[in-house]
Amino acid sequence: MIKPLLPATLFAVALFAGVQPASAQFQDRNFRVSNGVSKEHPMGNGLAAMGACTLQKSGGKMKMQSFWDGALGNDLTATQSVRTGSLDMVLTSTAPLTAIIPALGVFDLPFLFNDEKEADQLLDGKAGAWFSDKLPAVGVVNLSWWENGFRHTTNSRRPITKAEDFQGVKMRVMQNTIFIDTFKELGSNAVPLAFSEVYSALETKTVDGQENPYNNIENMKFYEVQKYLTLTKHAYSPTLVLFSKKIWDGLSPAEQGVLKDCAAVGQTEQRKVNRMKSDESLANLKASGMQVNEISPAETLRVRDKLKVIYERHSGSIGREALDLVLGELKRVRGS
Ligand code: TF8
């Protein structure tokens, strides 16, 4: 004879049926992630934290596999692969993507951010969300804002101590019209090149200089082929954590949630290590023989003044909405 089920057991069965077991929410996944630097870079710390998080939250199902040194392409080409769905994820600076999303060019405007706190407030707030909302339309989902950081200038010709010292220096810049125009405005010969080509261009003296955050200068061993480092701090590069929309749409809500949550865990780690290691990198660059100099505040002001024209000249391609949003938010966080 079958015993009738007790009400409590019935309740438990009903409850269980309503909740999907974890095995249905999470499939075996292996996400391939691309970046242009080598794994010792703070990007590596961010990805390690994100990967450990996804593995743990998915009961061991969701793995992240990192590819370094641009092995799966540079910022732009890897992003194209992410758009088509032949690659899952890329960590990329915003600057090489302005041909796809012109509004992102706002972050390339010279001297936009004064410090990291401002950048964090903008990118983690309303402005960052506005840009992220634009991205699914071009086939990518931005999981978080990490950072490349503040950019400084190196070259093999001379220390840059005043605005005029940029003149005649052949500078590698990112493939980005605002960067090209900025260095042209300073009188440099601006040569756009993909990141993977920079070391050999410097080594063969195809170009005299380049600009990147300290961590990148150290990570890519540019100090081997560059003598002078000038602390220009002329721009801040945000990093996008871009996931393929094509692949994203095939994931369960639980899997999507884990990726978002864990990208935020990665963000905390990546920004922390990037900022900690930045000072260390600068010291290492000095120790490896680079001659480091600052530009006086008065000369920095002259450089800034010269470059004010860039804001207006590129407002059309960036678009008024993005420009007003970012400049308005900056005013707000500065309390001015
Ligand atoms: C550049 C960028 C790159 C970064 C890196 C690949 O100069 O700063 O170094 O986007 O993550 O091209």
Assigned domain for 233 exists:
yes
Assigned domain for 22 exists:
no
Q: Which one is predicted more confidently, 220 or 23?
A: 220
Q: Indicate whether residue 35 lines ligand 1 (CB < 6 A).
A: yes
Assigned domain for 3 exists:
no
pLDDT tens digits, 165-175: 999 999 999 99
At 242, the pLDDT band (50, 70, 90 cuts) reads very high
* H/E element, 297: helix 297-313
Could you identify the atom of ligand 1 that is nearest to the CA of residue 211?
Answer: 7
CA distance 37 to 142: 20
Average pLDDT score, the chain: 94
Could you identify the atom of ligand 1 that is nearest to the CA of residue 216?
Answer: 9
Ligand 1 centroid–CA 95 distance in Å is 9
**Amino acid at residue number 21:** P
Q: Tokens 């996931």 appear where?
A: 243
Q: Indicate whether residue 295 lines ligand 1 (CB < 6 A).
A: no
Give me the mean pLDDT over the 260-288 stretch: 98
Closest CA to 189 of 174, 208, 175: 208
Q: What is the DSSP letter of 33?
A: E
At 24, the pLDDT band (50, 70, 90 cuts) reads confident
59 in Cβ contact with 26 (< 8 Å): yes
Q: Which residue segment(s) compose the domain that 292 sits in?
A: 28-334
Residues 6+ positions from 259 with CB-CB distance below 8 Å: 54, 62, 143, 243, 251
Nearest-CA residue for atom 12 of ligand 1: 195
Give me the mean pLDDT over the 163-187 stretch: 97
Q: Indicate whether residue 174 lines ligand 1 (CB < 6 A).
A: yes
CB atoms within 10 A of CB 161: 14
Ligand 1 centroid–CA 239 distance in Å is 9
CA distance 119 to 237: 9
Closest CA to 252 of 18, 15, 20: 20
What confidence score (pLDDT) does residue 14 get?
46
pLDDT tens digits, 125-136: 999 999 999 999
CA distances in angstroms from 243 to 51, 65, 76, 222, 248, listed in the order given: 14, 13, 14, 30, 7
Q: Indicate whether residue 45 lines ligand 1 (CB < 6 A).
A: no
What confidence score (pLDDT) does residue 186 get?
98
pLDDT tens digits, 67-117: 999 999 999 999 999 999 999 999 999 999 999 999 999 999 999 999 999
Tokens representing residue 115 in the block: 């410090």
Assigned domain for 8 exists:
no
Q: Indicate whether residue 66 lines ligand 1 (CB < 6 A).
A: no
Assigned domain for 254 exists:
yes
**Amino acid at residue number 103:** A
Nearest-CA residue for atom 9 of ligand 1: 195
**What b/e sequence results for 214-237 when a residue is b if at least 16 CB atoms lie within 10 Å of its CB, and e otherwise?**
bbbbbbbebbebbebbbbbbbbbb
ipTM above 0.95, yes or no: yes
CATH no. for residue 245? Answer: 3.40.190.170
Assigned domain for 177 exists:
yes
CA distance 133 to 213: 27
Assigned domain for 63 exists:
yes
Q: Give the total number of structural domains in the chain.
A: 1
Share of the chain above pLDDT 90, in %: 93
Give me the mean pLDDT over the 310-336 stretch: 97
Assigned domain for 68 exists:
yes
Q: Which of 19-28, 228-237, 319-328 has the lowest mean pLDDT?
A: 19-28
CA distances in angstroms from 255 to 34, 55, 143, listed in the order given: 20, 11, 13
180 in Cβ contact with 112 (< 8 Å): no
CA distance 52 to 242: 18
At 336, the pLDDT band (50, 70, 90 cuts) reads confident
- Mutate which of 212, 221, 226 for ligand 1? The one with the most ligand atoms within 8 Å of its CB, which is 212
